[in-house]
A and B are shown apart, each in its own frame.
Chain A
């Protein structure tokens, strides 16, 4: 077990998969000579050469389409977006081409491709550069969507995504790239579609993913310390397919749930999780399920306003207390 940053764990996954399979290549803005806008692709150009580590113009729609076309012809592209904010320009290729090709061809043309890059807000990047797109992407049949929160999951999920025969969206966290954690060496694969209990607990389940996992863990610590409340932190890891069994299993034990996400509240991932719980765990609930999301506003630039907009430890603690009628 080595201690790695989230960034280096992703780099290791890319390197190992490119060594394992000559059909895997990386394409995107600044991935080669510049070594990646966030250095996830550091050293890959040197090791694999410009045919397999491909710098592109700033043309998200175009190079996403090149990736999909290459996948149609049997390669396994990894398309890096500098951020998912820019990937909105490529949604036609992700939604209309990649996600639908297998179905509309009657099963003839699989599209084994990974679209990856940082998602969600960082610090003071303002409205256009601070968006969490998971509910848009997880809405689409034909896609798989994962959002790792730890270095180990980043490596294991990216490796699974590259080996999967479908288009897989990997949502990374810009604020997570420097996060350190233990990562199993070599063949470490995390299956798509499996949630993970990051902290076991008895009294309330905090459902979260990506950056909000660390928010939830801090909230659970505070709840334990100050309230004597035992909160379970359930990291979804995959948003499509969603591990409904894991959600229901946890809620069956805790009878309460808070769902946390970086996205906006309207039609968010949390709305989907709440739907699962109300449908299949109705009789086990002791309180309404609450949600903590970004405020329903474009992200402001001002530091104080930005802090107010983001899901915070305080808001998660407050929500958990409400489900326990501690207020």
Chain B
């Protein structure tokens, strides 16, 4: 049942969905730009992995989910949290380490959680959360539900044992999980082909008798449609899918890493930016006549204001009370 072929992107989606996806991509882009600024000002500490360039993956895939589905991700998860409906205020406040953050200031950039939105975390150990996704899928199947679990990870996680153990068991137990590999070509500063014997991630699905699809990650509609097919497979038949979504990160691995230099050229980054997912979708909507430039400008301004408000909110929010140091170590 393994299929590892690229399917043609189905170019249909209602214009409502498309407009929403454009809005969400702009939100991620501007949010991450502000996060970079705040990091430079020292308002965000530690590690901070930005999603700029990869927006189409989060918005396309999450558009295919229901509210009662589960989402779990790695440490590059700001965008997915925002699209899942965690408020920009709560995400920015978490990056600022504030009490009003979505993890009460205890998780930070890499550990965004919102149980109500079934956003089951950002996780900081490469590949460590992939078995957790299988476990969530196990719980869904155990209870006879028709939800799915969507799990994001980067291509570098494919070289970790946890990926292979989880995919094998998801296939053996028939778990409703969508393994969404965001292939942005570099694990930190190491090109995937330098460290992976098999560079087409979809090929790994053959080892686990799993459905798979190769997807253009700069095209939100393509991601949306591929994820819809995977969701259908999971919901109706309880079968997992491996999606390899080819995308590109414009920024360095984290805020403390260079954009380019020893591991990739400036020209390569510039070349990739020509296929920017936001510009592409905006262009499509304009060509179809469902959006004009003034409309786009207004949308852009509205989102910039929303992000400004998130920064203001995070800035004005209090630090956690010192007593919070010792809460939530153990549950009652």
CB of A106 within 8 A of CB of B169, answer no
The chain B residue with its CB closest to the CB of A60 is B165
Given A62-B131, A69-B132, A93-B128: A104 and B103 within 8 A (CB)?
A: yes
In the complex, which residues of chain A have a beta carbon less than 8 angstroms from the beta carbon of B173? 54
In A11-29, which residues have CB < 8 Å from any B CB?
Answer: 25
A binding-site residues for B, Cβ under 8 Å: 25, 51, 54, 56-57, 59, 61-75, 77, 92-93, 96-97, 101-110, 112, 141-142, 144, 165-166
22 examples of A-B residue contacts, CB within 8 angstroms: A57-B165, A59-B165, A62-B134, A62-B168, A66-B169, A67-B135, A69-B135, A69-B136, A70-B138, A72-B132, A72-B139, A96-B124, A97-B132, A102-B329, A104-B111, A104-B121, A105-B113, A105-B121, A106-B103, A106-B106, A106-B107, A108-B113
B binding-site residues for A, Cβ under 8 Å: 70, 72, 101-107, 111, 113-115, 120-121, 123-125, 128-140, 142, 161-162, 165-166, 168-169, 172-173, 327-332
CB of A69 within 8 A of CB of B101, answer no
CB of B111 within 8 A of CB of A105, answer yes
In the complex, which residues of chain A have a beta carbon less than 8 angstroms from the beta carbon of B140? 73
Instruction: Pick the residue among A65, A74, A142 that contacts B131 (CB under 8 A).
Output: A65
In the complex, which residues of chain B have a beta carbon less than 8 angstroms from the beta carbon of A106? 101-107, 113, 328
Given A56-B169, A59-B165: A72 and B136 within 8 A (CB)?
A: yes
> Least Cβ distance of B112 to chain A in Å?
9
In the complex, which residues of chain A have a beta carbon less than 8 angstroms from the beta carbon of B130? 65
Which one of A56, A63, A107 has the highest number of Cβ atoms from chain B below 10 Å of its Cβ? A107
CB of A92 within 8 A of CB of B139, answer no
In the complex, which residues of chain B have a beta carbon less than 8 angstroms from the beta carbon of A68? 131-132, 135
Instruction: Pick the residue among B102, B125, B132, B169 that contacts A57 (CB under 8 A).
Output: B169
A105 to B121, CA, bound (A): 7
CB of A70 within 8 A of CB of B113, answer no
The chain B residue with its CB closest to the CB of A103 is B328
Which one of B105, B120, B125, B131 has the highest number of Cβ atoms from chain A below 10 Å of its Cβ? B131
A165 to B328, CA, bound (A): 12
CB of B131 within 8 A of CB of A69, answer yes
In the complex, which residues of chain B have a beta carbon less than 8 angstroms from the beta carbon of A72? 120, 132, 135-136, 139
CB of B138 within 8 A of CB of A69, answer yes
* Beyond A61-B131, A92-B125, A106-B101, 19 extra complex contacts between A and B, CB < 8 Å: A62-B134, A65-B165, A66-B166, A68-B135, A73-B70, A73-B139, A74-B139, A75-B138, A75-B142, A92-B128, A93-B132, A96-B125, A97-B123, A102-B328, A102-B330, A103-B328, A106-B103, A106-B105, A166-B330
A73 to B121, CA, bound (A): 12
A103 to B103, CA, bound (A): 9
Given A63-B169, A102-B330, A102-B331: A109 and B139 within 8 A (CB)?
A: no
A62 to B137, CA, bound (A): 13
In the complex, which residues of chain A have a beta carbon less than 8 angstroms from the beta carbon of B104? 106-107
A56 to B331, CA, bound (A): 29
CB of A57 within 8 A of CB of B172, answer yes
> Least Cβ distance of A148 to chain B in Å?
20
Instruction: Pick the residue among B162, B330, B332 that contacts A61 (CB under 8 A).
Output: B162
